[in-house]
Amino acid sequence: CNGTSLLKKMEISVAEAEKRTGKNAVNMQETYTVYLIETRPVDAASEGTNPVPDSLWRRYSEFELLRNYLLVTYPFAVVPPLPEKRAEFVWHKLSADNMDPDFVERRRVGLENFLLRVASHPALSSDKIFYLFLTEADSRLKALNATFRVKNPDKRFVEMKHYGDELQSVISQLLRVRARAADRLYGVYKVHGNYGRVFSEWSAIEKEMGDGLQSAGHHMDAYAASVDDILEEEEHYADQLKEYLFYSDALRTVCRKHELTQYELEMAVQDLTSKKQQREELATGTIRTFSLKGMTSKLFGQETPEQREAKLKMLETQIEEGEELVKERNSECDEFVKSAWVDIERFKEQKDHDLRESLISYAIMQISMCKKGIQVWNNAKECFNKM
């Protein structure tokens, strides 16, 4: 799958979605959705044979894992986005249930589009892991997930990653509640418009009460018309919250980058340790670990002194390079931690200030809105008293 777009060689689709129930990593029962990926060689379709496509099921979390791998492996590439994990938060009636059939269908289409965009990308389409994701159920994705779990994670970044998850969850819930409240508020305001119409119609048949009813109707009409401006102002505050919903993802991205930096350091240390052990084994003639080369030496005789000397020289060179690489990786990791933590602290101060101001302003707006409602009915009462 090198050289040209994978789409020129393979037809790719996400054919259907299916709800399943099973136990998760902590042995808890959960319900989730899986998506059927189907692939078929383009050659077969052009020849008119139309064979049964190869197929496998993937969860949304596996798509996330694939995209994270692509982000890390191809830092220069603009990696296509995945469809939303949850429904967007709008005040119009829209289910936020991840199992809602309409939402699942939109996500199925979005996941198919993600695969097609990756498969048409000049660099991403030739990636072996991506090809295995499409064709092998037991692909290297699980191993990849384990690979990026560092042995000695920095507790601060682990906690920050959890904080990012919790921040996203809390703001999502807040936006969801706000969407439901705004939907109901819209209905309440529009009902006042019906009051206005009824009072105006009633005023036409009443001689004594006509002026008072007409005036009360005008107050109701004005109140009902104000809902659009109020909801527009509410959207402004909702957008401020959404910004921090997306910030939570940016926070987790920093934590993932730290994991990668730490992982590269640990791999460099591991490789250096292995090279030093090989040097010791060659120098002493003692094999500490089982290996095919060790068994071969026992069966077919030891290497000549010249061969051993040449290997020792090569190992010495590799060890020197490895020590330099470990220093470099250590320096990169330390610099990343220092720079990232300064920016995370800055972000936390900014977030505390912005969210405090936003929530206070939102509360003031709600109080003002309620006062306007009370004032409308007080004005209506005065109109009724004059009748």
Model confidence pLDDT, tens digit, residues 49-62: 566 678 899 999 89
Residues 127 and 124: their CA atoms lie apart, in Å, by 5
pLDDT of residue 356: 93
**Chain mean pLDDT for the chain:** 82
> Is the pLDDT assigned to residue 248 strictly greater than 60?
yes
| Listed range (135-144, 164-173, 182-191, 197-206) with the worst mean pLDDT | 135-144
pLDDT of residue 374: 87
Q: Which of residues 14 and 223 earns the better pLDDT score?
A: 14
Side-chain-side CA neighbours of residue 152 (13 Å): 8
Residues across the chain: 387
> Is the pLDDT assigned to residue 165 strictly greater than 90?
no
- Residues paired with 31 in a beta bridge: 21
> Is the pLDDT assigned to residue 98 strictly greater than 70?
no
> Is the pLDDT assigned to residue 197 strictly greater than 60?
yes
| Listed range (28-32, 141-145, 164-168) with the worst mean pLDDT | 141-145
Residue 211 has φ and ψ, to the nearest 5°, of: -65, -40
Q: Which of residues 292 and 151 earns the better pLDDT score?
A: 151
For tokens 């994705």, the residue is 141
> Is the pLDDT assigned to residue 2 strictly greater than 70?
no
> Is the pLDDT assigned to residue 299 strictly greater than 80?
no
For the chain, helix, strand, coil in percent to 5 are 70, 10, 20
pLDDT of residue 118: 94
What is the per-residue pLDDT across 257-295, written as a single tens digit (0 to 9) for each? 888 888 889 989 999 999 999 888 888 776 555 455 554
Average pLDDT over residues 311-322: 92
In this prediction, residue 26 has a pLDDT band, given cuts at 50, 70 and 90, of: very low
Percentage of the chain exceeding pLDDT 70: 83
Q: Which of 150-159, 292-301, 351-360 has the highest mean pLDDT?
A: 351-360
> Is the pLDDT assigned to residue 335 strictly greater than 50?
yes
Q: Judge whether 151 and 242 are in contact, CB under 8 Å.
A: no
Q: Which of residues 327 and 182 earns the better pLDDT score?
A: 327
Residues 2 and 128: their CA atoms lie apart, in Å, by 9
Residues whose CB falls within 8 Å of the CB of residue 11, separated by 6 or more in sequence, listed in order: 39, 40, 41, 42, 45, 53
In this prediction, residue 24 has a pLDDT band, given cuts at 50, 70 and 90, of: low
| Listed range (72-81, 151-160, 287-296) with the worst mean pLDDT | 287-296
Helices (DSSP H) in the chain: which residue ranges? 42-46, 60-73, 101-120, 128-135, 141-147, 155-203, 210-225, 227-284, 292-300, 305-385
In this prediction, residue 73 has a pLDDT band, given cuts at 50, 70 and 90, of: confident
For tokens 């910004």, the residue is 243
> Is the pLDDT assigned to residue 148 strictly greater than 70?
no
pLDDT of residue 101: 81
pLDDT of residue 320: 95
Average pLDDT over residues 102-121: 91
pLDDT of residue 146: 45
Average pLDDT over residues 57-74: 89
Cβ atoms < 10 Å from Cβ of 74? 14
pTM, two decimal places: 0.55
In this prediction, residue 328 has a pLDDT band, given cuts at 50, 70 and 90, of: very high
pLDDT of residue 95: 45
- DSSP letter assigned to residue 77: S
